[in-house]
Chains A and B, each alone.
Chain A
Amino acid sequence: MELSESVRKGLQSLADPTLFDLKTFSVLIELAFRSLLTAHADRSVLDQPELKHIDQKLLKHCHTAATTCILEGVKQNVDKSTISGIVLEIMKIRLKSGGIAHLRQLVGTTTYLCHTCAWRMLGLMQREQMYSTSHTSIGRCPPHINDVSWRLEYLIKNGHVHKVNEPSYLISLNVENTNNGGSTEEVNFSCTMEQLQDLVGKMKDATKSLEKAMQL
């Protein structure tokens, strides 16, 4: 898992006990996960009373670093040892530059960071259904069918032809355009009973081949 210099610096600052004590650190990590899981961007996500004493620029940098690290981890589907390894590597650089006085606290913070991140990330991947849906909604795909409505009508006559006397179906597919911010549109078409039977038959064929593929 590759992380940029900016992200590494952010994570280093996060692990610095002089900048973030254990409580502040855990609050920020919690916020990082929350801002990735909620659907809407919340501008006031960093306006927490516990974080008020920290320089805002630094706070933003660390929050960004944490969220980037989490996103990369979920994208690559990393395991616990990989996360721990990456975090430890960053902490080693930190250890070299810092003094021995802070070592104990730093080790404590590092271990906490490793375990919290690893555990949370694994927990997150187990909730992959929820998360990867939003992750996979980033990206291009054809319009997605969500629902179908139908109407059965009996056509008696129209302005040009009388005594038509035919039943017909009006089908409306509710389609979501994931590319353009989730706009929905409707695909409407009419069909006779035979055509609808043909449509349903083909959909059933697709389902059957899906079941066969699942059994392989």
Chain B
Amino acid sequence: MLLVLSDEHKEHLGFLPEVDSAVVGEFGRIAVEFLRKGTNPKIYEGAARKLSVDAETVQHGVEGLMYLLTESSKLMISEVDFQDSVLVLGFTEDLNQLLLQLYLENRKEIRHILGELTPSLPHYHNLEWRLDVQLASRALRQQVKPTVTMKLHLEESGGDKSAKVLQTDPATLMHLIQELEKALAELKTTHCRRILRNIK
């Protein structure tokens, strides 16, 4: 599957052949760093001064690289497809190889970062449990009531953690285990296996 680059994108990336491959490598490193941590406009000014060009040109170049990397990682295109897509820009073979290396080394990490943008529910993190026996309360004395107190640790996609304290009785706990084991068994059925095998 080929990437289709817009004219504006091609124009922005047109800046790259005009500089050394070392500089392009540096831009690549900056692009990945910006994807990880967010952009820092001061870097553009510093680079612009060193290369005697507009800060805006540098910015477009780096942003063009960032977009190229994110789109390729999102679609998970193969090496061949990436090379063919970049061919359209008319760069030198060295530059193409550099870009390909940049893509292959960083795509897993970029996909992981993109994954954090997706809407998602809190994710299971851990479960702590405790067995209690209630002996008495203000309302009723001389009881023997076994309960299981659990602390469910959940994690949001942004990294925020929350913990919920919940309680259940032994009979309900058995029922919960039964239901969840059914859920696990479902993944091993032929229907699910067929889907997992065929949708790749």
Contact = CB atoms under 8 A, between A and B. Distances in A.
Are both chains from one complex?
yes
Given A165-B200, A189-B154, A197-B184, A77 B142 contact: yes
Contacts of B124: 171, 189-191, 195-196, 198-199
Interface in A74-120: 74-77
A144 to B, nearest CB: 5
B121 interface: yes
Given A154-B196, A163-B75, A173-B166, A189 B121 contact: yes
Interface string B139-160: 1111101111110101000000
Given A75-B139, A160-B115, A161-B111, A150 B131 contact: no
B135 to A, nearest CB: 12
Contacts of B120: 190
A136 B166 contact: no
A145 B167 contact: yes
Interface string A56-75: 00000000000000000011
Interface residues of B, number: 59
Interface in A127-182: 132, 135-136, 138-139, 141-150, 152, 154, 156, 158-165, 167, 169-171, 173, 175
Interface stretch (B11-19, B43-51, B171-179): B171-179
A135 B139 contact: yes
A183 interface: no
A6 interface: no
A169 to B, nearest CB: 6
Contact of B166 (A74, A163, A187): A187
Interface residues of A, number: 58
Contacts of B2: none
Interface string B57-80: 000000000000000011110000
A200 interface: yes
Interface string B114-129: 1101111111100101
Contact of B129 (A149, A162, A200, A203): A203
Contacts of A144: 166-169
B96 to A, nearest CB: 23
A212 to B, nearest CB: 10
A209 B131 contact: yes
Given A143-B166, A162-B76, A136 B140 contact: yes
Q: 5 smallest A-B Cβ distances: which pairs?
A: A191-B124, A138-B139, A150-B183, A145-B168, A77-B142
8 contacts: A75-B140, A136-B139, A147-B175, A152-B187, A160-B117, A161-B111, A196-B180, A202-B129
Interface of A: 74-77, 132, 135-136, 138-139, 141-150, 152, 154, 156, 158-165, 167, 169-171, 173, 175, 187-191, 193, 195-200, 202-207, 209-210, 213-214
Interface of B: 73-76, 111, 114-115, 117-124, 127, 129, 131, 134, 137-143, 145-150, 152, 154, 164-170, 172-177, 179-181, 183-184, 186-187, 192, 195-196, 199-200
Given A76-B141, A135-B140, 4 more contacts: A132-B140, A135-B139, A143-B167, A199-B180
